[in-house]
Amino acid sequence: MGVPPTEREDFFMATMLIDGQTVAAQTGKTIEVRNPANGEVVDTIPKGSASEVDAAVEAAAKALPAWASLSGAKRAAFMHAAAAKVKAAVPEIAKLLTLEQGKPLAHAVIEATRVAENLEFFAGFADKLRGDYVPLEDQNKFGLTMRRPVGVVVAITPWNFPLTLMANKVCPALAAGCTVVLKPASTTPLATQRTIEIINSVGIPAGVLNTVHGPGSEIGDALVSHPKVNKIAFTGQTETGKRIMKLAADNVTRVTLELGGSDPMIVCDDADIRRATAATAIGRFFNAGQACLAVKRVYLFEQIAEEFMAKIADRARKEWPVGDGMKEGVKMGPLHTERQRAEVESQVADAVKRGAKVLAGGKRPEGKEFEKGWYMEATVLRDVPEDSRMATEEVFGPALPIFIVKDLDDAIAKANSSVYGLGSSIWTKDLAKARKAAELLEAGYTWINDIQVAYDQLPFGGTKQSGFGKEHGIEGLDGYLEKKSVVLAY
Ligand code: NAD
């Protein structure tokens, strides 16, 4: 069945990885993966079905006992070796990522490198997993706690940061002794498949790492409902997360859900406007605004509002050149799909119809080079009504709505009015204000005077309809381990 991944030399012929073998779909069906910069076909992937899902889960279940009982040091050694191979392959992986996703090549390089870093980070834990000795009331007994792998993990990832979000799941799972069936988004499977094959090629036993491809709407249910799956690690839209949570309930399968967000940023009257606007621009326009953690609503104190708006509009116009991600100097690629751009455009149109004013962008860039891709300019709007779609929905694109507030209480109340609770930030020199915001903003993360960058060392995850469960940090590993109690009588 197929060619072992270590012997594969072709680059643009993606397959699935099931039980250590690269395989096509049994049906022979494929899906085209297209370049968002020009609509051209980059490659095809097999369109998996429920039977491949079953084969992958069975392979993962079969491989589990041996992988779980392998010493942590050996699992760590595999992961360190994989990190070195991924690092060496960064240029190749990054190119694939840009071609299928649209992001600038320099940013794809950062993302591919993050996989190697994540492998190293969690490899460091693999040989340090231990439990506790617990004295009990009974004299002739004592208690122990053990940390056991949760089992077979289904990891489902979106298209915006395909590699980072894959690594956030695969790396802690491998370190913990779990086996994995990964389903990437069907518009961005290529860099992920290639990376998984590289990780697998260091000698990780067959069945520990598997991939299946296909639209979530078609193979998602089979994955989520499979009785041999012990955990689902999902990143994607809130609506999809709700469906997964409902289906997972049937087998009481545990879930972690990293869902949508609408991160507020509060800028107080004493803020450093130069730094705050720089962080806002990166927070909103990086990855063409298609990031879960991103500055998605800005709340300005009146005193600094005009200065802030002038500067952020200036940055949007001058500092975010749009173009094909393969071109030198481009900072913002196209949006990922035509549908994604249409969605953001309709959110902007809704705000404008209700009285918002466009300070920068608000349209598609003009010129022949932009005709075939899903491009949009970096966009800033003021006077955005608080009941408009840009305020109440997640804006997953390069468009920033700005609101003006009376004081910190007003800002926090408005920031918290969203159904989401992923990231948040505040800019102030007043520690009392900063502390109040850190305590009261309903979010999994609050940055104070800093750009919204997630750290490996800190747990990351949402509250409210942004989901639950953590990735990153030691807490990211906890999600793949079960604590078991043992009583020993003597
Ligand atoms: P999506 O929910 O459409 O798809 C995500 C993945 O789920 C894809 O692999 C898709 O094929 C699969 N899927 C779709 N329907 C499914 C089903 N019924 N059962 C099982 N799997 C199914 O999300 P998207 O549009 O790819 O990603 C964008 C969203 O992801 C945004 O809302 C963004 O905020 C969110 N996101 C969240 C985080 C986070 O960490 N909180 C990070 C990145 C992106």
pLDDT tens digit string along 400-427? 999 999 999 999 999 999 999 999 999 9
Superfamily (CATH H level) for 263-454: Aldehyde Dehydrogenase; Chain A, domain 2 (3.40.309.10)
Q: Whose CA is nearest to atom 28 of ligand 1?
A: 236
Q: Is 369 a catalytic site residue? A: no
Q: Where in the chain is the domain with CATH 3.40.605.10?
A: 16-259+467-489
Ligand 1 neighbourhood includes 340 CB (under 6 angstroms): no
The string of pLDDT tens digits covering residues 233-262 is 999 999 999 999 999 999 999 999 999 999
Distance between CA 112 and CA 92 in Å, rounded?
A: 9
- Distance from residue 237's CA to the centre of ligand 1 (Å): 4
Ligand 1 neighbourhood includes 261 CB (under 6 angstroms): yes
pLDDT for 2 equals 47
Residue 275 has pLDDT above 50, yes or no: yes
Strands 41-46 and 399-405: unpaired
Residue in the block written with tokens 């799956």: 229
Cβ within 8 Å of residue 328, ≥6 positions away: none
Active-site residue identified among 197, 258, 343, 394: 258
Q: Where in the chain is the domain with CATH 3.40.309.10?
A: 263-454
Residue 1 has pLDDT above 70, yes or no: no
Distance between CA 470 and CA 325 in Å, rounded?
A: 31
Ligand 1 atom closest to Cα of 159?
26
* Token pair recorded at residue 457: 């060392």
pLDDT for 5 equals 42
Q: Whose CA is nearest to atom 41 of ligand 1?
A: 258
Taking alpha carbons only, the member of 300, 255, 260, 254 closest to residue 277 is 300
Q: Whose CA is nearest to atom 23 of ligand 1?
A: 236
Q: Please, which residues bridge with residue 485 across strands?
A: 145
Ligand 1 atom closest to Cα of 185?
9
Strands 420-421 and 463-464: antiparallel
What is the gyration radius of the CA atoms in the chain, in angstroms? Answer: 23
Residue 38 has pLDDT above 60, yes or no: yes
Ligand 1 atom closest to Cα of 241?
2
Residue 303 has pLDDT above 60, yes or no: yes
Distance between CA 462 and CA 258 in Å, rounded?
A: 7
The string of pLDDT tens digits covering residues 163-220 is 999 999 999 999 999 999 999 999 999 999 999 999 999 999 999 999 999 999 989 9
* Mean pLDDT, residues 2-21 taken together: 65
Ligand 1 neighbourhood includes 158 CB (under 6 angstroms): yes
pLDDT for 13 equals 57
The string of pLDDT tens digits covering residues 370-409 is 999 999 999 999 999 999 999 999 999 999 999 999 999 9
CATH number 2.60.40.1120 given to 16-259+467-489: no
* Mean pLDDT, residues 26-40 taken together: 93
Residue 26 has pLDDT above 70, yes or no: yes
Q: Is 171 a catalytic site residue? A: no
Residue 148 has pLDDT above 70, yes or no: yes
- Distance from residue 146's CA to the centre of ligand 1 (Å): 33
pLDDT band at 88 (very low <50, low <70, confident <90, very high): very high
The string of pLDDT tens digits covering residues 461-477 is 999 999 999 999 999 99
Residue 4 has pLDDT above 90, yes or no: no
* Mean pLDDT, residues 119-134 taken together: 97
- Distance from residue 236's CA to the centre of ligand 1 (Å): 2
* Mean pLDDT, residues 294-321 taken together: 98
pLDDT for 12 equals 46
Kindly tell me the number of DSSP H helices and DSSP E strands found in the chain. 15, 22
